[in-house]
Amino acid sequence: MSSSTLATAGLLALPAAGQASDSFGSLLKNAPANGSTPCIEDTPGACTLVGYIHPNAVGDPVTSPAPYDGVVVKVRIRSSAVERVTFRFASIGADGARITAQGATVQLAGTSEIEEYAARVRVKQGVHVALDAPSTSAVYNQGGDKFTYLYSPTLGSAARPLTGEPTGQLLVQAVIERDADHDGFGDETQDRCVCTDTTKPRLRGLELRSGVLHYRLSEAARVTVRIQKAHQGHFRPLRGTLTDKGTRGANELRLGRKLGEGRYRLVLVARDKAGNASATKRIGFRIDG
């Protein structure tokens, strides 16, 4: 899967994530050190580096996967090389790793400080940060720990087993936001979604007994009732409407209107606070003289 991305670069201090944001990947606590060139020894060209989960000496995860389905709105990296790289996202399974989402291609400043780039990439829960790069200059090595898997040539959508010797911690971090309205934009900083209610209320269980309408609602909603009378094979609306502030569950509405002899029907629509309208429901009845 791929998604369009937005990329702007800058050398920034690491800000705190917004209230509705989370981060995954590296904690970016360390500057890059002891990266090799080329990415995989004796293999020219770029490879894909995938950050995986390994706890450190005190049990904290050095890297972490995406905590939920959402949109990556920023990516951050620390690198010691001035080089062109591509941010990517990968899943890792028993059959190897594969790319599930594509990020931006950028030119790194290579100062070893945090560089931040805007993004808009849809990702699934559990994916890992990944990077296409010609070297491992965005890696922190210490004590022989192996936190990053290497794949050459670069990974695609088909799963592939590990190619090179694993290396240190991949210094890439992604900031993720939820996407409640599924429009491909992060809710907190990209579209300020307020989790719009799009669920229509459901009207059911209509029954008319002794001038009282009984009905059930799936959620609280305002119910509009129109009375129609049969005339020459057609139903014509009578003047006026009845309304009821229905609650979730069982409700009753007394018609409270004197009607003459004939065939009638009630036409009902429920509308919730968000403006979602239910399907129109009808119930017929007869009044004999």
Q: Is the pTM of this model over 0.85?
A: no
pLDDT of 12:
34
Domain boundaries, given as residue ranges, for the chain: 9-177, 203-287
pLDDT of 42:
65
Give the 3-state secondary structure of the chain.
Answer: CCCCCCCCEEECCCCCCCCCEEEEECCCCCCCECCCCCCECCECCCEEEEECCCECCCCCECCCCCCCCEEEEEEEEECCCCCEEEEEEEEEECCEEEEEEEEEEEECCCCCCEEEEEEEEEECCCCEEEEEECCCCCEECCCCCCCEEEECCCCCCCCECCCCCCECEECEEEEEECCCCCCCCCCCCCCCCCCCCCCCCCEEEEEEECCEEEEEECCCEEEEEEEEEEECCEEEECCCCEEEEECCEEEEEECCCCCCCEEEEEEEEEECCCCCECCCEEEEEEECC
Cα–Cα distances (Å) from 286 to 238, 282, 283, in that order, read: 15, 14, 11
pLDDT of 142:
73
Q: Quick one: fold of 203-287?
A: Immunoglobulin-like (2.60.40)
User: pLDDT per residue over 217-276, tens digit each?
Assistant: 999 999 999 999 998 888 998 888 899 999 989 999 998 778 888 999 999 999 998 889
pLDDT of 16:
36
Q: Per-residue confidence of the chain (289 residues) as pLDDT tens digits?
A: 333 333 333 333 333 333 468 999 998 988 998 656 667 666 677 889 999 866 556 655 567 899 999 999 999 999 999 999 999 999 998 888 999 999 999 999 999 999 999 999 999 999 999 999 998 899 998 766 678 888 988 999 999 988 877 888 899 999 999 888 788 899 888 886 555 677 899 999 999 998 899 999 999 999 999 999 998 888 998 888 899 999 989 999 998 778 888 999 999 999 998 889 999 999 999 988 6
